Structure 1
Amino acid sequence: MTLSAAEATPSPAEEQGGGNGLLWVLVAVAVLFAFLRPRAPMEWLKLVDWQTVGALAGLLAITQGVEKSGMLQAAAQRLLARTHNQRSLAMLLTASAALLSALVTNDVSLFLLVPLTRVLATQAHLPLARLVVLEALAVNAGSALTPIGNPQNLYLWHRSGESFFAFMAMMGPTVAVMLFWLFVAVWLLVPRTPIALKPAAEAAPVQPRLLALAGVLFIGFVVALDRHWLLAGLGVVLGVFLVTYPRVLRGIDWALLAIIALMFVDLRQLAELPTITALLGYWPITEGWRAYLAAIVTSQFISNVPAAILLDSHVRDLPALAAGVSVGGFGCVLGSLANLIALRLAKLPNGMREFHRISIPFLLVCAASALLLRLA
């Protein structure tokens, strides 16, 4: 499959922002629930996972600091000097995304790689939307391997009682299938076309102090999250940037935080509907392929983390549930929060269309392949 110049180069509109269509849809759904299922304001606030929203806010601020330091531009120049065709670059980026997500979680991997990819596309003619979609698929696949790769794995690992490496062994076959198809997708979707550089723009000066500050804040923020000191850690990150580099805070995608918060509000209320609870109790989804498919389908509507929590009380087959919510991160953009984060970080208004054009067929192929592996 080849790309035209228009496809390979982001338009000015694409570079300005990611669009807020999903935000307004989520607002409309929240208003509808407010009429159909009224609840006290404090009950609404309790629907939001503030730990997740706060962690994303801190990471967004730190990522902005790294971007404005000029380090990404310098790194992109060095990477383009060593990589000579689009397919090799895509393989490198997706492999890095998959590996990092297994070690430092899927969201953190995206915060590291998507801004770099966006900068690469400012320096060379690259299929930015396609690369970012492949990175989103990569972090969903790679993070499924380890108990610490994503929130649903962490939840299911604690529920399972398995050791760290026993859980990895359980997830290994499903992850192998997903990674195989991921690299097939890269091979098919990204041509072996020489990378054409754009006319060199004036390079932004590298600011070592800002980069060092962002690095120190990142380490401190991760430690604060691990110790459950969210408010203190977030306060330090935002306060330091406000005093030293206020332009960093102006670059934060606040709409993304609103989207994530509203997703919790809407999707948790959807999961509470009596009809949904009755269907889950009626359907024979306790084990085997039915549990696996139920996890995939449920993830498409309420995201894979809430799906894992919701189905845990109905499914006795933990390996099937874990595999299903992992594969369920593909398909619809709501399947995983990582999908939304990737598209917003890329700042592509047409990214949603490109995502579904790739992710839905990818879901069907991976779901069928992993199911055949489980039945074999």
Structure 2
Amino acid sequence: MKESVLIQENKRLKLKFAFLKKDIVFTVSLVLAATSCLIYPPKPEYINFQVLVILFSLMLTIKALEELRFLDKFAIAVINKCNNTRSVSAILILLCFFSSMFVTNDVALLTFVPLTLVVSRKTQMPMMETIIFQTIAANIGSSLTPMGNPQNLFIYSHYGIRPFPFFSTVLFMAVLGISSLFFLIKRMQYRELKVVLNPVPIDDWKKLAVWGLVLAIIVASIFGLVSFQVAFVVTLITVVILNVKLLIKIDYLLLLTFICFFIFIGNISNSNTLQAFANTSLKDTTSVYFSSIFLSQFISNVPASILLAEFTTDWKPLLLGVNIGGLGTIVASLASVISYKLFIQANPIESKRYLIKFSFYNFTILAFLTLIQFVILKLL
């Protein structure tokens, strides 16, 4: 009897630890928030509810579009027209770059990396480099819009940035990034190939049109053309009418991660020692720029942006730093972890080789963008 109870307790503990291991960034943010609350009492004003509400609305809408499989239909239609391996890879990479601007970098990878693996199986075409370049493309492409990734949404809202200053800041970096990818694509293997994939039917074009309209309203709220409360209500009403099950399908851990980091950073910002250190370390554009790139390599670019925004009003080097900083290590951007997991599920013995190649390409482009963008920052 005692052994049975012990076995059940062990199972419960394993389940709890499995939940914590599932999202290490959330676990770290939870521990930091809880620890900081023991030193400083949390306050509601630490939490940026506007960012959370917009992010929640975006997640619901993008999940709806994902289930309608519009991106899959478009991608397969284009790939079926390709006639060589290089053009197939180029299309898959560019789809990640452009789609990530609107549906976020993680959703772009969740959509197109599995498709890349399907193409690989059907054609016996090695796709490791393609998936690595897709990851780089999604991280760079998402930097071009406020809704492309969570750190952009936070910085755009936190500093109250207007559209033109935002786009003019990130445009050159994105152009450099996609130019680097074109150079890498040109070096990829070339052989004649005809891909034939079954077309994806769209079951309900009316629903697709409605969700496209909802996404447009959310984007309008990000740019200040519509209040975020109105966009939230419209999204919620649409979910209840069209597909209420979406409410249980989105990634609530991401929202909780934001809340935990807001609490942690709000609490520790009361520390005189930290304030003094930050004021000394983040005293100019150069220090903010390199601090955001460096910090992103270890804690990823989303928490890095939330942390550093508390101690600097200089948003341009922060915006550039956390987006460039999404390159480099596998944890620098959470989207990179997604494509890595998808690849090794299909190719478990290739894990080490993938990480070596991933690191080589990512750090090469990271160094190139960091240097060129720093020169541009100094000139401006």
TM-score normalised by structure 1 residue count: 0.67
Give the C-alpha shift of residue 212 in structure 1: 4.4
Q: Residue 14 of structure 1 aligns with which residue? A: none
Measure the CA separation in 2 of the matches of 1:219 and 1:352. 41
Q: Residue 9 of structure 1 aligns with which residue? A: none
Q: Residue 175 of structure 1 aligns with which residue? A: 174
Cα displacement string for residues 153-206 of structure 1 (whole angstroms, at most 9, x for unaligned residues) = 455557778764454333343333322323334345x422444758x8xx58x5
Q: Residue 236 of structure 1 aligns with which residue? A: 238
Matched, 1:371 2:337: no
Instruction: State the superposition RMSD in angstroms.
Output: 4.6
Q: Residue 317 of structure 2 aligns with which residue? A: 320
Q: Residue 192 of structure 1 aligns with which residue? A: 190
| More divergent stretch after superposition (352-361 vs 89-98) | 352-361
Q: How does 1:1-376 map to 2 (within 5 A)?
A: 23=22, 25-26=24-25, 28-29=27-28, 32-33=31-32, 36-37=35-36, 49=52, 51-66=54-69, 72=72, 75=74, 78-102=77-101, 106=105, 113-114=112-113, 116-117=115-116, 120-121=119-120, 123-128=122-127, 130-146=129-145, 149-150=148-149, 152-153=151-152, 156=155, 164-188=163-187, 190-195=188-193, 203=198, 207-223=201-217, 226=221, 227=226, 228=228, 229-230=231-232, 232-234=234-236, 236-237=238-239, 240-241=242-243, 257-268=251-262, 271=265, 272-273=267-268, 274=271, 277-278=274-275, 280-281=277-278, 283-315=280-312, 317-339=314-336, 346=342, 349=345, 354=354, 356-357=358-359, 358-375=361-378
| Change in CA separation of 1:79 and 1:336 when aligned onto 2, cut-off 3 Å | same
Aligned AA (1:83) = C
Aligned AA (2:189) = P
Structure 1: state its 5+ residue gaps.
1-18
Q: Percent identity?
A: 22
Q: Residue 7 of structure 1 aligns with which residue? A: none
Give the C-alpha shift of residue 322 in structure 1: 2.5
Measure the CA separation in 2 of the matches of 1:211 and 1:295. 43
Measure the CA separation in 2 of the matches of 1:41 and 1:313. 15
| Change in CA separation of 1:282 and 1:75 when aligned onto 2, cut-off 3 Å | closer
Give the C-alpha shift of residue 220 in structure 1: 2.9
Aligned AA (1:91) = A
Measure the CA separation in 1 of the matches of 2:139 and 2:64. 23
Measure the CA separation in 2 of the matches of 1:91 and 1:300. 27
Q: Is the 8 A contact 1:287 1:320 kept in 2?
A: no
Q: Secondary structure at the match of 1:330?
A: coil
Q: Is the 8 A contact 2:328 2:362 kept in 1?
A: yes
Q: Is the 8 A contact 1:286 1:317 kept in 2?
A: no
Measure the CA separation in 1 of the matches of 2:160 and 2:54. 24
Structure 2: state its 5+ residue gaps.
1-17
Tell me the matched-pair count: 339
Give the C-alpha shift of residue 41 in structure 1: 11
Structure number, greater radius of gyration? 2
Measure the CA separation in 1 of the matches of 2:325 and 2:241. 38
TM-score normalised by structure 2 residue count: 0.66
Cα displacement string for residues 24-83 of structure 1 (whole angstroms, at most 9, x for unaligned residues) = 53565466447634579997x96893542453244223312327xxx83x6555434321
Q: Secondary structure at the match of 1:286?
A: coil
